[in-house]
Structure 1
Amino acid sequence: MLLKVTTEELENCQMAMTIEVEDAEVEKALRSAARALSRKLNIPGFRPGKAPYNIVVRHVGIEAIRDQALDGLAGKSYQQALKEEEIEPYAPASLEEVTWDPLTLHLTIPMPPRVDLGTYRELRLAPEEVTVTDEQVNEVLEQIQKRNILWQPVERPAQLGDMVTVDVEATVDGEEVLSYEGREMILRTNSRYPVPGFGQALVGMRAGEEKVFDLPFPENYHRQDLAGRQARFHVLMDSVKEEVIPPVDDALAMTVGYESAEELKEAVRSELLQQAQREADERYVNTVLERVVEEATIAFPPIMLEREIDDIVKEQDQRLKQRGMELAEFLKIRNQTLEEFREELRPHAEKRLRQALVLGEVIKAEQLTLENEEVDEEIERRSLLMGEQADEFREVLSSPIGRFSVGNNLLTRKALERLVAIAKGEAPELQPEGEAEEAESAEAETSAAEPLVEEQPGDRQAEVAESAE
């Protein structure tokens, strides 16, 4: 088939392609389409499939025949054009317009993304220095003190904040409706148990004293027969205790598992330092990645961003289902349409996609690879975390798709570690490209190892993005 193909590069990794098909091929396709249509039609005077071309045209119209012919001819012409022009698209093309006489197809083709990392290896960034102040240590110690407060009996009248032990009897119109003994409660101004105002009514009572007072049950009380009704409460105060915050001493330290107060303080400081270091390391990784992304030149076809949004919507849908909610219900609560939700996700999706593309390019530029054993070890590590479900989880991760996902996450981790090493000035020198290829060829000749992961359909960068966040 003779084609006249012209192409033009568009912005955002897209290509405009025009394909003009030779008239003889078009005529052949039209007549074949007419025969196919005539087999399904009842044309007077002709057996199915035997009506002449001009009769079929008169019967169904040229547009119907053209539509039938185009179904096969467009795809065939497009595939031939790709082969002739040596074009490898990222995703299926969009047929924008079709004109006839001559048949001309106007298409927009999404092309693979382009990433130029620029001078990323010149990036240098000083790590954040981590310190822990005495104030931070004291804040944690105070929290430990409050979690281990003591309640000591007092002989004074009860005050707000005290813990009291009471015997209570409540009646409505002389009929007992509540009764309990030895009930402990802390006197709070906002307490609503058993009814609002009960705690304040006990303020001033001493251990051993009795008191009778009237209070109403609230209108929304759970027992409808008592809601809004006045009750008489008869209370015996058994004991009054005040809150005592223990000092930071050896006794408190031993309560929480340490030998001495000094050991407790050092443990708190060490834990705070480790936590601060983890947070600083995370900020450092994010900052380094942001800097590399900012300096990189990144282009991708619009469909790639739409697919990233698709992935995030699916992830959100899965999380909602785990909580027993459907996406439609979630959107209804937020008073959003799906399109509005997708637009809300667009900035996050673009950031995630740009990071994934950069990390994918870093993996290639830094010649990062994985061994099968690394994937096996990671699968085992993750599986053991699942406890009784370890075998089931291991089986899922050991599938081709599971290994592909685990492998991508490990490569992403290696890419982030390499970027951190570069920023700190600790990265190894890159092996020249020619030598790297020779080393790979030699390794392939001397090793019969199975492929690390089997390539799967779909966008590899989406897997990389999850680990990059």
Structure 2
Amino acid sequence: MELLSSSTTTTLFSFKPCTPFPSRRLSFLSTSSLHISNPFLSLTSSSRQFISHRKSSTPSHLTVSASSSSVAVNTEKVDKLPADIEVTETKEPSSRVRLNVIVPPAVCEDCYKRVLAEFTKQAKVPGFRPGKKVPESILINFVGKQHVRRATIESILKRTLPHAMSSVEGRALKDSVHITTKFSDIDETFSSPEDFLRYDVLVDVEPEVKWTPENGYKNLKITVEIDSAITAEIACEAEIKRRHKALGSLRIVTDRGLQIGDVAVLDVYTTSVEKDESDTENIPPTESKDFQLDTEEAGNLPPGFLDSIVGIQPGETKSFPLVFPESRKQENLRGAGAQFTVKCKELFYRDLPALDDSLAEKILPGCGALSQLRESVLQRCQEVEHTATDQATDNAILDQLCKMIEVDIPQSLFEEQGRQLYGAKLLQIQADMKLTEEQLASLSSPRAVNEFLESQRENITNVIKQNLAVADIFKRENLQCSTEEIVKEVEDSIAEFKRNKQEYEEERIRDQVQEILEGAKVLEWLREHSDIQYVR
């Protein structure tokens, strides 16, 4: 049943009155589908790592200090260099920066000496004891000149890259650094340690968020449409009816045809229909054998299907044309005509016990009367209705934020977010139904992942934009999360992982908890500062 929809978002919310609202606790299976009520909560720490970094104020053309001790991509201490390297920064599309690095001979010679010292320790040169000093010419002849040169190049790149990256400290995105100059090209041009060594690096950096209008998030006007046809009261009665039905028994119908309230076992076949009404090929996704139909829960059937089979008797077959609705999930079936052939194999009616006070305890333990039962179920439905309203409000706000910002999303961030969503989807599929190794390998193939990224490009992009908008607001408004809140959430989350016997990393949990709390703070702030109207 659809409860809520927002005028600023196409998301529809499924209302299940007696299903508790999901806990905010962390779970690696929590992002089971592409639609996430608060998308920014799905990002792991790595995909928003730059948020807490200090922005670099280094100019675009600079000489990096040889004494630099830390960089954004590696927090460990790095070697001091005997001389400065020169780095020229050039901006490129998709929030990417190209670094042209020039390494002076002093650094190259120092790396060359280190390489020779290492070879001296490891190489077993005939006539020399291990570890003893070997004349340079003899060592090079033994190891090979080309091998020494390539080892020197590797040493230079390894030692100088962290220093070069200090020019984008606080802006570089994790795992987005690539040396674009081919090793073979460096090998050809670098003939001696007395030469300069040059190479280029591409790195994705924190994208700049531009608001239109500036600070527009401070005066949001949000309209949330609420489906008044599905209220807590209506849902309460539906839930009691569902539980009442579960206590009944199915009896075989022998003397009549199908009526509303019955349960039927059907074989359903469909063929597409062309404009000239000629039958063509079958439509497998809409066919089913031994399909169990509860006529009181037929909301997902094509319009007119149920009316067309009312009166059908066991063993009877009916054929009729229908048109799939425009809201059909499969795009190729939207508005398409089809010829349905339905065979009724079995027909049952429900034999239900009388719904009175004596049945209240069986429907919901702890209830001694129908009035108490209705009061208890209604309270749960009202809680879910309130939660669904909040959820719809949050989605409407996030959707509005997405429309108000311009951002050049780095490819590495897009791929990481998309792969996280796809990975979570696979985990959920694996949890719901055991996949064979062959099926899992097929779904995990690069082709399958790339198809997902491309087909869900708009959704993934919107999730990232919402994340960036929320993170930007958190910083702009100087919002804070208390240490007590973080500690409590971390402890509760770890306890839940232990109860479920799931592996976890405490540092990762802490990062995710902080992001969840930050997101909640931003949404709370936005609700307080927005003009929100609810339309029924």
TM-score range, shorter chain: 0.5 to 0.7
Question: Equivalent of 2:468, from 354, 357, 363?
Answer: 357
User: Structure 1 residues 327 and 293, CA, compared in 2 at 3 Å: closer, same or farther?
Assistant: farther
Whether the aligned pair in 1 keeps the contact of 2:224 and 2:396 (CA below 8 Å) is no
User: Structure 1 residues 362 and 345, CA, compared in 2 at 3 Å: closer, same or farther?
Assistant: farther
Q: 1:331 corresponds to which residue?
A: 440
% identity of equivalent residues: 18
Q: Distance in 1 between matches of 2:169 and 2:504?
A: 38
Whether the aligned pair in 2 keeps the contact of 1:9 and 1:16 (CA below 8 Å) is yes
> Is 2:375 aligned against 1:279?
no
CA-CA distance at 1:410 after TM superposition: 2.1
Work out which structure has the larger RCO, using CA pairs closer than 8 Å and 6 or more positions apart in sequence: 2
Whether the aligned pair in 2 keeps the contact of 1:29 and 1:69 (CA below 8 Å) is yes
Whether the aligned pair in 1 keeps the contact of 2:96 and 2:410 (CA below 8 Å) is yes
Classify the secondary structure of the residue corresponding to 2:201: strand
Q: Distance in 2 between matches of 1:276 and 1:13?
A: 42
Classify the secondary structure of the residue corresponding to 2:102: strand
Unaligned residue ranges in structure 2 (runs of 5+): 1-82, 267-347
Q: Distance in 2 between matches of 1:187 and 1:104?
A: 76
State how 1:17-416 maps to structure 2 within 5 Å. 17-34=99-116, 36-37=118-119, 40-41=122-123, 52-53=135-136, 61-83=144-166, 89-91=172-174, 93-97=177-181, 98=186, 99-100=189-190, 101-117=195-211, 118=214, 119-129=216-226, 131-132=228-229, 136=234, 143=242, 146-147=245-246, 159=255, 257=367, 275-312=384-421, 315=424, 319=428, 325=434, 328-332=437-441, 335-346=442-453, 347=456, 349-378=460-489, 389=499, 401-416=508-523
User: Structure 1 residues 112 and 43, CA, compared in 2 at 3 Å: closer, same or farther?
Assistant: same
CA-CA distance at 1:15 after TM superposition: 1.3
Classify the secondary structure of the residue corresponding to 1:127: strand
Amino acid at match of 1:289: L
More helix, by proportion: 1
Whether the aligned pair in 1 keeps the contact of 2:358 and 2:368 (CA below 8 Å) is no
Classify the secondary structure of the residue corresponding to 1:20: strand
Unaligned residue ranges in structure 1 (runs of 5+): 162-185, 191-240, 427-469
Instruction: State the Cα RMSD in Å.
Output: 5.1
TM-score (norm 2): 0.50
Q: Distance in 2 between matches of 1:151 and 1:34?
A: 85
Q: Deviations over 1:276-316 (max 9, x none)?
A: 55434322321220220222123343333343345445545
Whether the aligned pair in 2 keeps the contact of 1:146 and 1:245 (CA below 8 Å) is yes
Whether the aligned pair in 2 keeps the contact of 1:91 and 1:109 (CA below 8 Å) is no
CA-CA distance at 1:339 after TM superposition: 0.9
TM-score (norm 1): 0.56
Q: Deviations over 1:372-431 (max 9, x none)?
A: 333455467768989x949x99x989x5554443333222222222233333369xxxxx
Classify the secondary structure of the residue corresponding to 1:6: strand
Q: 2:49 corresponds to which residue?
A: none
Q: Aligned pairs, how many?
A: 344
Q: Distance in 2 between matches of 1:27 and 1:415?
A: 53
Q: Distance in 2 between matches of 1:189 and 1:7?
A: 69
Q: Distance in 1 between matches of 2:509 and 2:378?
A: 40
User: Structure 1 residues 131 and 274, CA, compared in 2 at 3 Å: closer, same or farther?
Assistant: farther
Q: Distance in 2 between matches of 1:74 and 1:32?
A: 13
Q: 1:467 corresponds to which residue?
A: none
- Between structure 1 and structure 2, the one with the greater Rg is 1
CA-CA distance at 1:12 after TM superposition: 2.1
Q: Distance in 1 between matches of 2:170 and 2:349?
A: 81
CA-CA distance at 1:40 after TM superposition: 4.7
Q: 2:93 corresponds to which residue?
A: 11
User: Structure 1 residues 327 and 301, CA, compared in 2 at 3 Å: closer, same or farther?
Assistant: farther
Whether the aligned pair in 2 keeps the contact of 1:82 and 1:88 (CA below 8 Å) is no
Q: Distance in 1 between matches of 2:496 and 2:118?
A: 61
